[in-house]
Amino acid sequence: MGALARWLETQPRAVSRAELLAGWSAWSLDTASSRGTVVRVLPGVYAGPSHAADALVRAQAVCLWSRRATVGGLSAMHLYNQELPAPRTVDIVLPHGSRVRAPDWVRVRELPDVRAMCHLRDVRCLVPEAVLLDAWHRETVGVGRDLVYRALWLRVCTPGQLARALAAAPRVSGRRDLASLLAHFEAGATSPLEVMARREVFVGRRFGEFEWQAKLAIAGRPRRPDMLHRRARLVVELDGRRYHSGDDAAARDRTRDIEFAAAGFTTLRFGFQDLRRRPEWCRAAVSRAVEARL
CB 201 within 8 A of CB 226: no
pLDDT at 242: 47
SS3 167: helix
How do the pLDDT tens digits run along the chain, 294 residues long? 689 999 999 999 999 999 999 999 999 999 999 999 999 999 999 999 999 999 999 999 999 999 999 999 999 999 999 999 999 999 999 988 888 889 999 999 998 877 767 888 899 999 999 999 999 999 888 888 999 999 999 999 999 999 999 999 888 999 999 999 999 998 888 889 999 999 999 999 999 999 999 999 988 889 999 999 999 999 999 985 444 445 576 788 888 999 999 999 999 999 999 999 999 999 999 999 999 999
Phi, psi of 211 (to 5 degrees): -105, 140
* Run of H or E residues at 204: none
Q: What is d(CA 273, CA 256) in angstroms, rounded to the nearest whole number? A: 22
State the amino acid at position 85 in one-letter form.
P
User: b/e for 56-70, b at 16 or more Cβ within 10 A?
Assistant: bbbbbbbbbbbeebb
pLDDT for the residue 233 = 97
HSE of 223 in the Cβ direction (CA atoms, 13 Å)? 23
Distance, CA of 154 to CA of 186 (rounded, Å): 19
Inter-axis angle of helices 73-80 and 141-153, nearest 10: 20
Alpha helix ranges (H) inside the chain: 3-9, 17-21, 26-35, 55-65, 73-80, 128-138, 141-153, 159-168, 175-186, 192-196, 241-244, 247-262, 272-277, 279-293
Q: How many CB atoms lie within 10 A of CB 75?
A: 27
Q: For domain 192-293, give the CATH number.
A: 3.40.960.10
- Distance (Å, rounded) from C-alpha 103 to C-alpha 189? 42
* d(C-alpha 108, C-alpha 75), whole Å: 12
So where are the chain's domains? 3-53, 56-186, 192-293
Three-class SS state of 162: helix
Helix, strand, or coil here: 193? helix
Coil, strand, or helix at residue 64?
helix
